[in-house]
Amino acid sequence: MKSRFLPPILLIVSLAVLLTSLAPVRADAAVPERAYEKIQCVSPARVKLQADLRRLWIDHTLWTRSYIVSAVAGLDDQKDVLARLLQNQ
Give Cα separations from 46 to 37, 43, 58, 60 (angstroms): 20, 5, 18, 21
The whole-angstrom separation of Cα 81 and Cα 72 is 13
Q: Express each pLDDT in 22-67 by its tens digit.
A: 666 666 666 666 666 666 788 899 999 999 999 999 999 999 999 9
In the predicted model, is pLDDT for residue 74 greater than 80? yes
Domains of the chain by residue range: 40-89
In the predicted model, is pLDDT for residue 10 greater than 80? no
Q: What is the pLDDT of residue 9?
A: 77
The better pLDDT of the pair 4, 51 is held by 51
Q: CB neighbours of 81 closer than 8 A, spacing ≥ 6?
A: 63, 66, 67, 70
Does pTM top 0.85 for this prediction?
no
